[in-house]
Amino acid sequence: MAIRGIREYDGKKLMAQVLDRFSSKPLGMNPNYALVTPETDLEKLPVSEPWLNTTKLVVKPDMLFGKRGKNNLLKLNATWAEAAAWIKAKREETVTVSGVQGRLTEFLIEPFTPHPEDKEYYVAMRSFRDEDIVYFSLKGGIYVEENWDQVKEIHIPTMKDNALVDAKSVSFEGQLPVEGAEKALVEDFVTALYRFFADQGFAYLEINPFTLAEGKVVPLDLVAKIDDTASFEHLDTWGTTLTFPAGFGHHLSPDEAKVKAMDAKTGASLKLTVLNPDGRIWPMVAGGGASVIFADTVADLGYIDELGMYGEYSGDPNEEFTYQYACVILDLMTRKSHPKGKALLIGGGIANFTDVAATFKGIIRAISQYADKLREGNVKIFVRRGGPNYKAGLEQMRSLGGKLNLPIEVYGPETHMTNIVPMAIAALQ
């Protein structure tokens, strides 16, 4: 739950559908955009989107990265046949963007709008703790950075005159450095855009550039970040289908996908990111805060290269989910053995609600199941936990070591939370 990037397609579609609500005059935004995903049948797309055959098109990857022109990932002024051929070719390539390798899977298609280069405007909006800032420049497009001194900033405070500022009352009339025939249109647009931004849960919105054609505003390139916690306020406009895609090149491994699927099924939180399958330190840590600190400590003590994963389980997952989650980790860490062995950290702070003994049941089941592999792999287990019923939980872990003939060291709140990290590092030497 946080600020997350959305696709350019979703941003432009949302704008086309909703922007007029925030404008005194209809702005008539172009409603024609198409998103191509790996499931899209390019032969059938013009049936549902007939405009593809009647206008010249722009095609670009829509995967939360920018600078597509510089990376030669922009097809301009194309017929549908050319656009489709371009997509087919690009789908087959592996590309590198900002050092990250990946396949291109999503593309945005929109009508091509020819325009002179000096008719490219810049507008961006961002939320801060006490205010929103709107940035506007007549020199948009690729020149905005070198002309940053010409960007006009307008600050909209959260509170004014001891009252919350209502975004719907904000107007930029007479405040933008734009003159002549375009003045009214640009001011209307930026005013509506800000109201849209504030009302629709945006944290960041950048249109660079937009241009004007036939008395209408045409957004050419759009980047947006949305606060996904606001979804309950916007079911009417976001719908239930607005997606928050992972960054480019981010592909889940089968183990990560398995945990993600488990996470989606439970109200609790189960997370896994494999960092190094050959790593020798595997933290299975309860709680979001504690899990970060365990990973930090491994890294801060100089052993980040040995860190197998980042993950967490929290929100009181039931025994079955805890068991399954533990199995994924135990499986991952016992696939390859290392002559000096490996370490499993069953860590966590002092829980507030979670019954420690109950959650340990699932972990104990998994350890019992993997006991042979853990012994073969020379895995040492370190446990540190506190919270409701922790004494019983720790006792179960202690007796498990004896029962299964596994080296399990068990600590409670009297031991500093991360002390098992240096212990594990020492044991691996």
Partner 1 sequence: MTQSYQLFSKNTRAIIYNLQVNAVQRMLDFDYVCRRDKPSVAAIIDPNAKQGGNHKVFWGTKEIIIPIYSSIAQATKRHPDADVLINFASFRSAYATSVEGINEPTIKTVVIIAEGVPERRARELAALAKARNKVVIGPATVGGILAGGFKIGNTGGTIENIIESKLHRTGSVGFVSKSGGMSNEAYNIIACNTDGLYEGIAIGGDAYPGSTLLDHLLRFEANPEVKMLACLGEVGGTEEYRIVEAIKEKKITKPLVCWVTGTIASKMKGEVQFGHAGAKAGASNETAEAKNQALAEAGVIVPNSFDDYGLKLRETFDKMKAAGQIPERTLPDTPAIPADYNALKAKGQVRKGTNFICTITDDTGDEPLYCGIPMSKVVEHNMPLGELIALLWFKKRLPSWGAQFMELVLRLTADHGPCVSGAHNTIVTARAGKDLMTSVATGILTIGPRFGGAVSGAAKQFSEALRKGQTPLEFVNHMKNTNVNIQGIGHKIKSATNPDIRVTLLKQFARENFPKTPHLDFALEVEKITLTKRNNLILNVDGAIGILFLDLMASGGDLFTEQEKAEIIEFGILDGLFMLGRTIGMVGHYFDQKRLRSGLYRHPMDDVLYDLPEPSELGYDW
- Contact residues for partner 1 (CB under 8 A)? 1-3, 100, 127, 129-130, 158-159, 162, 164, 198, 201, 203, 227, 229-230, 232-233, 247, 249-250, 269, 271, 273, 275, 287-293, 295-301, 304, 307, 310, 312, 314, 349-353, 386-389, 392, 413-414, 416-419, 421-422
In this complex, which beta carbon is closest to partner 1, that of residue 33 or of residue 194? 194
Angstrom distance (rounded) from CA 363 to CA 190: 55
User: Min. distance of Cβ 42 from partner 1 in angstroms?
Assistant: 30
Residue 8's Cβ-side half-sphere holds a number of Cα atoms within 13 Å equal to: 27
Q: Would you state the structure tokens that stand for residue 173, as one six-digit string? A: 């009339």
User: Min. distance of Cβ 115 from partner 1 in angstroms?
Assistant: 32
In this complex, which beta carbon is closest to partner 1, that of residue 31 or of residue 239? 239
Angstrom distance (rounded) from CA 132 to CA 185: 22
In this complex, which beta carbon is closest to partner 1, that of residue 47 or of residue 159? 159
Q: Would you state the structure tokens that stand for residue 131, as one six-digit string? A: 């205010």
For the chain, the straight-line distance linking the first and the last C-alpha, in angstroms and rounded, comes to 39
In this complex, which beta carbon is closest to partner 1, that of residue 106 or of residue 188? 106
User: Min. distance of Cβ 296 from partner 1 in angstroms?
Assistant: 5
User: Min. distance of Cβ 414 from partner 1 in angstroms?
Assistant: 7
Secondary structure of the chain: what % helix, strand, coil (to 5)?
40, 25, 35
Environment class of 94 (CB within 10 Å of its CB; exposed 0-12, middle 13-18, buried 19+): exposed
Environment class of 129 (CB within 10 Å of its CB; exposed 0-12, middle 13-18, buried 19+): exposed
In this complex, which beta carbon is closest to partner 1, that of residue 72 or of residue 169? 169
Per-residue b/e over 295-312, b at no fewer than 16 CB within 10 Å? bebbeeeebeebbbbbbb
In this complex, which beta carbon is closest to partner 1, that of residue 81 or of residue 133? 133
Cα angle 176, 200, 190; round to 5: 15
User: Min. distance of Cβ 18 from partner 1 in angstroms?
Assistant: 16
The DSSP secondary-structure symbol of 245 reads P
User: Min. distance of Cβ 304 from partner 1 in angstroms?
Assistant: 5
User: Min. distance of Cβ 340 from partner 1 in angstroms?
Assistant: 22
Angstrom distance (rounded) from CA 117 to CA 110: 19
User: Min. distance of Cβ 324 from partner 1 in angstroms?
Assistant: 20
In this complex, which beta carbon is closest to partner 1, that of residue 357 or of residue 374? 357
Coil/strand/helix, residue 25: coil
In this complex, which beta carbon is closest to partner 1, that of residue 28 or of residue 413? 413
